[in-house]
Amino acid sequence: GLGHTGGTIDKMESVPGTRTALSQEEFFAQVNRTGIAVIGQSENIAVADKKMYALRDVTATVSCIPLIASSIMSKKLASGSDAILLDVTTGTGAFMKTVEESIQLARLMVSIGAHHGRKVAAMITDMDTPLGHNIGNSLEVIESMEVLKGRGPADLTEVCLALAGQMLVLAGKGSPAACRAMAKAAIADGSAFAKCKEMFAAQGGDVRVLEDYSLFAQPAARYDLLADADGYIAENDAEKIGTASVLLGAGREKKGDALDYAAGIILHKKRGDRVRRGDVLATFCGAPERFAAAEAAYRAGLVIGPDKPKDLPLIYALVTEDGVERY
């Protein structure tokens, strides 16, 4: 992945041995056998999309909503999915900076799916401030495993349950309330974590790391970033924090850059939290020579003020063929 959010495939590949470049035959075989697989875009899925993206890059149309919609949906339709749920993020850390832009993109993608006879829905979720506490590759895998074990942060767990519940609704498994209850039950009885382990094992991953996190690659060093004032965290800009994690080596500044899977940021204080001067706000993980630039990027998106900020919604809307349901 490029940019401040990193790529899902990079996070998957932080589990040693995991293969994401499956052939179409391997992909179908695994889904038929286990019910789940995560793969990267291969050479024979939406071949024209890469050429279109290269054209967008040189014609200043990367942010063109119709072209974003067609790029995303071409891959989803080519994969053969009957039902597709899209998580469309909005805010400083997202491509779409406003809720209205995100809804516009979501409606277009839902209509493209409907035109092709697919059931499509999109949730508009917040990315003004990071979800959970961990930013990085193996760090985010660890936090995801904690969610599946029922020990994850409340905000990340809530978004996961909302998305999982809506996926079950699209699959025709019941009402929204019943489907959310099914998702909660899968965490509570351990079956969600067991299925995730099965997926990683099927793709060659060393699943021991999902139980014993010390088996992940460890960072060269750690550095605690301290609060320089008393007050409340009024802003904790997701884009700036993402940029800081890239500067630590968790993401790529340019295509071809090597990743440090152990690099990243652990947030100890988040938007709305009260802090005192000297409190540890975050821990940086990575090579020591990268800490100064990462700290400058992080502090550029940090505002500590006298008043507690108003809570932001985690989920703004659900977009389906029937319209927009605002939360």
Full DSSP string of 69-109 = HHHHHHHHHHTT-SEEEEEEEESTTSSB-SHHHHHHHHHHH
Amino acid identity, position 254 = K
Place of tokens 């990575």: 286
Inside any domain, residue 2: no
pLDDT band at 48 (very low <50, low <70, confident <90, very high): confident
Question: Is 167 found in the same domain as 50?
Answer: yes
In this prediction, residue 5 carries a pLDDT of: 58
Provide the pairing of β-strand 264-267 with 280-286: antiparallel
pLDDT band at 47 (very low <50, low <70, confident <90, very high): confident
Question: Is 35 found in the same domain as 178?
Answer: yes
pLDDT band at 40 (very low <50, low <70, confident <90, very high): confident
Question: Is 88 found in the same domain as 58?
Answer: yes
Q: Pick the range with the lowest mean pLDDT from 100-109, 116-125, 256-265.
A: 256-265
CA neighbor of 20 nearest in space, from 2, 3, 1, 40: 40
Instruction: Summarize the chain as % helix, strand, coil (round to 5).
Output: 45, 20, 40
Task: Count structural domains, the chain.
Answer: 2
Place of tokens 């904690």: 146
pLDDT band at 113 (very low <50, low <70, confident <90, very high): very high
Decide: 257 and 315 in contact? Cβ < 8 Å: no
Tell me what the pLDDT averaged over the chain comes to: 93
In this prediction, residue 2 carries a pLDDT of: 46
In this prediction, residue 62 carries a pLDDT of: 79
CA neighbor of 109 nearest in space, from 94, 93, 120: 120
Q: Pick the range with the lowest mean pLDDT from 54-58, 85-89, 128-132, 235-239.
A: 54-58
Domain of residue 168 covers 8-212+313-326
In this prediction, residue 6 carries a pLDDT of: 59
More confident residue, 50 or 135: 135
Q: Could you say which DSSP state residue 2 is in?
A: B
Question: Is 292 found in the same domain as 161?
Answer: no
In this prediction, residue 258 carries a pLDDT of: 87
In this prediction, residue 134 carries a pLDDT of: 98
Question: Is 191 found in the same domain as 233?
Answer: no
Backbone angles phi, psi at 307, to 5 degrees: -110, 145
pTM greater than the 0.95 cutoff:
no
Question: Is 165 found in the same domain as 105?
Answer: yes
How many residues in the chain?
327
Structure tokens at 185: 């039950």
Inside any domain, residue 244: yes
Question: Is 220 found in the same domain as 137?
Answer: no
Q: What is the mean predicted confidence (pLDDT) over 198-217?
A: 97
Top mean pLDDT of 45-54, 217-226, 250-259 is at 217-226
Inside any domain, residue 175: yes
Question: Is 17 found in the same domain as 154?
Answer: yes
Question: Is 173 found in the same domain as 95?
Answer: yes
Q: What is the mean predicted confidence (pLDDT) over 298-325?
A: 96
Question: Is 261 found in the same domain as 219?
Answer: yes
Amino acid identity, position 212 = D
Question: Is 231 found in the same domain as 91?
Answer: no
Inside any domain, residue 3: no
Question: Is 115 found in the same domain as 200?
Answer: yes
Inside any domain, residue 23: yes
